[in-house]
A = this chain, B = another copy of it.
Amino acid sequence: MTLRQDIHSSGIPVLCLSCEARHHGVCGALEPDHLAQLAKTSSRHNIEPGVELIGDAEAVDCYSNLLSGVVKLTKSLSDGRQQIVGLQFAPDFLGRPFKMKSAINAEAATAVSLCSFPRAAIERMMKESPEFVHRLLKQALNELDEAREWMVTLGRKTAPEKVASFLLMIARNIGSSVDPAARSACFELPMTRADISDFLGITNETVSRQLTSLRMDGVIRIENNRRVTVDSMSRLERRCGGRGATAL
């Protein structure tokens, strides 16, 4: 492999050189030699929308860096009711240290590309690199914050507020905006109406109605059912229900 020689030359594996995970993801915590170690066992996958990311070779059980696309984490009740409990965007780290029984399903919401590592390699990294664990902790705390933010949305917001909050969250995560102050945004919805409803704890009919309502009111524009344009972010924000200002 060309890998070994690259390790010798620059210290950083060639595969990792252009990888965003090295800047903002967990790999940023690693020294070149650790990175090289990991890279030797890594493999890249491209995954189609709708494919489950579980056990086996496919993706996670291995741990993986999410390089592009959106992954949804879901939990279901035995009667079929489903709730999306997390969305992961690049360059999040996927996989669950310390246990298998998570009872959470991961599924590619869009086309997804992953950089996967065998479980053993990651567990070794956790032993050898405190900085790596540190980074994992940071991500876990971030996800915890997000989860708690959603709990407010799920428990205390109305359907119109839920949909607006969802759009705002997506815009902030994957929205492209020319404007540096992000006064406007444009993005492709990474999920179907049914997914959105599972995310917000409402029905797809309600999602549809609320999107229409936002469209009618000129807050958003929608093309091809998926492409959303928000002209005025602040206008959208005002529809999200009292901002979480606990102080002031």
Contacts and interface: CB of A to CB of B under 8 A. Distances in A.
A98 B97 CA distance: 21
The list of the 9 closest CB pairs from A to B, nearest first, reads: A155-B201, A78-B242, A77-B242, A130-B130, A85-B148, A147-B147, A154-B154, A140-B140, A79-B242
A155 B241 contact: no
A181 interface: no
Nearest to A199: B155
B133 A140 contact: no
Contacts of A73: 148
Interface stretch (A31-39, A99-107, A215-223, A224-232): A99-107
Interface of A is mostly: mixed
Nearest to A148: B85
A246 B201 contact: no
B134 A85 contact: no
A218 to B, nearest CB: 24
Given A75-B246, A137-B97, A141-B96, A148 B104 contact: yes
- Taken together, the copies of this chain in the complex come to 2
Contacts of A140: 137, 140-141, 144
A81 B82 CA distance: 25
A233 B79 CA distance: 21
A19 B200 CA distance: 42
Contact of A77 (B76, B80, B130, B152): B152
A143 B144 contact: yes
Interface in A171-213: 200-201
Interface in A42-87: 73, 75-83, 85-86
A145 interface: yes
A138 interface: yes
A243 interface: yes
